[in-house]
Structure 1
């Protein structure tokens, strides 16, 4: 797509380029393939880049578990010494040149790969949304297509207006993610529910939350728009070279009756929060652009003591990430 023909808009918590796009729901394609097809139509195809969250920076650090974490999960991640972590921060959309301060770069993402003592890895995928706009992979695909069908010349009610009327969270989720002054000064949430299993087999549903130790620092839309196009990606390296960025890793625990299969429904803020430990982000890798090509973060890449819940979006994300990785690796 030519850049002059693209109009950006923030829709339902995910940034999309609005253009007239022909439906790409080929009968032989899976939902994941259809989802990536629509993303490629919306954002353009950029060889070697992710279909979404294409712009990013890779860093390294470590995680030190808390004493409390060992009691709630038998995972080795929470039982022993610090473990190395690879972290990728990112902007939303599949546009690798999107300005960091654009409202369409929200929600910013944080993906982590914990290197466990037995040589295995555990992945965690987060973003700045407090809840997701839809509850299933099929609905996310349909949201993308609704955005694509709702260009400036579309008749009202547009496909997106009809979609948000039927999916209330799609109209409000985007407003929960704001632009930070630094990637180190934003809270990143796990919108999907997972399950802790302790040494006695007790199961506890939870959602991740990574909170900056320095606190959040959110810019106004006007201030964000004035920043240099790459200010977030350029700032994080020099910042952590002087002083590492630290995040308190938390788990919000579900109470009986809290839904674990619907990422559009946040749990009440009075739910118990467990301090799992501290993530320290210490340096940006020397060749971030090259390093990120080989990285694939999978929400179901877990370890004994942490399990997937009944949230259907987990598998939907896994399938879509695999399709995107396969295409950008060609």
Structure 2
């Protein structure tokens, strides 16, 4: 109830009220202060052990392997790349984002491999990734992080944390507990499907001939306000070549980076961006469910990469490729995995920035 009442002359105090006891006010202040402290602790992940927070998630990722100060917690090994993006009229019809209308948009990106070892062997990584930052002439940014797998392994943030915890090595063996991993596969059909993909899908011989999928759903907003749920992929113009087990066994530690440098020496390496349009009934907020192959697809642009740098001194090293940094004309969905990725990327970025600032990170970083 307001302490004031309105009259034609304006506001005036209500009739005097009996004074409250000082103890009552002290108790109220203490209650509010306590609530603020509890809320802060809850958000920080200090209480509520089973809560999924960015801190908890990043801690769990770090526990799956050796910690490497100053490096990304996932996809730790990679190279910086740069080039440009040229949109198409079809892309511009779906989204009002300037990126599809500007003649050429400069691109800063990163090609990487899965895993948390910045010194791991390129050819031994099952998952390969592409992250991009596009900045248009009006100052808007679009950041996207894509992977070579066609769908996500689990449907929810809680399941994602369960899966990550199952990958923590057992102190007795130094390897993840097979029983825990089997339990995840038994609990989540999508995890079984992902395992089948990982075992059966052929490995590409290059970053350049790999498909990269956004996996999560987003919303394209047209100039007239029309919205369309979409997923996107970067499909290579280079012909696919399968990598044999013998090639993987004989490949050098920096095989993918060395091979990509050789390609760039011959000219730009290109991918076409294809947008898949959702139809009623498609899973918008569950990245573990692929959309049918019959869905309409639109070519929205072409990515051309022309240069590569080691990540240690490359411009991409200090970029957080948060998938929810989006320009006007593109918006996120309620996909919980998308929100989790954004939060964990931020937490990982902040940790490695602190490590670098404190001198905990190695001088000069890794070769790649």
Instruction: Please classify the TM superposition score into its range, dividing by the shorter chain length.
Output: 0.7 to 0.9
Contact 1:192-1:311 at 8 Å conserved across structures? yes
Deviates more, 1:240-249 or 1:213-222: 213-222
Counterpart of 1:303 in structure 2 is 327
Cα-to-partner distance string for 1:194-223 (whole Å, 9 max, x where unaligned): 011101111111111100012322313332
Cα-to-partner distance string for 1:56-112 (whole Å, 9 max, x where unaligned): 00010100111211111111111121100011000101111111111xx12101000
Residue 156 and residue 85 in structure 1: after superposition, are their counterparts in 2 closer, same or farther (change >3 A)? closer
- Runs (4+) of structure 1 exceeding 4 A deviation are 149-157
Contact 1:150-1:158 at 8 Å conserved across structures? no
Which has the higher Rg, Structure 1 or Structure 2? 2
Gaps of 5+ in 1: 1-24
Q: Say whether residues 1:161 and 2:182 are aligned partners.
A: yes
What is the count of residue pairs matched by the alignment? 303
Contact 2:127-2:149 at 8 Å conserved across structures? yes
Counterpart of 1:207 in structure 2 is 231
With normalisation by structure 1, the TM-score equals 0.86
Q: Tell me, what secondary structure is at the counterpart of 1:205?
A: strand
Residue 210 and residue 168 in structure 1: after superposition, are their counterparts in 2 closer, same or farther (change >3 A)? same
- For 2:169 and 2:46, how far apart are their aligned partners in 1? 17
Counterpart of 1:123 in structure 2 is 143
Deviates more, 1:161-170 or 1:256-265: 161-170
Q: How is 1:240-255 mapped onto 2 (pairs within 5 angstroms)?
A: 240-255=264-279
Q: How is 1:65-104 mapped onto 2 (pairs within 5 angstroms)?
A: 65-102=87-124
Q: CA RMSD in A?
A: 2.1
Counterpart of 1:187 in structure 2 is 211
Gaps of 5+ in 2: 1-44, 355-368
Contact 1:106-1:178 at 8 Å conserved across structures? no
Aligned partner (choices 271, 278, 291) of residue 302 of structure 2? 278
With normalisation by structure 2, the TM-score equals 0.78
Residue 253 and residue 155 in structure 1: after superposition, are their counterparts in 2 closer, same or farther (change >3 A)? closer
Counterpart of 1:134 in structure 2 is 154
- For 2:181 and 2:305, how far apart are their aligned partners in 1? 39
Counterpart of 1:34 in structure 2 is 56
- For 1:320 and 1:90, how far apart are their aligned partners in 2? 18
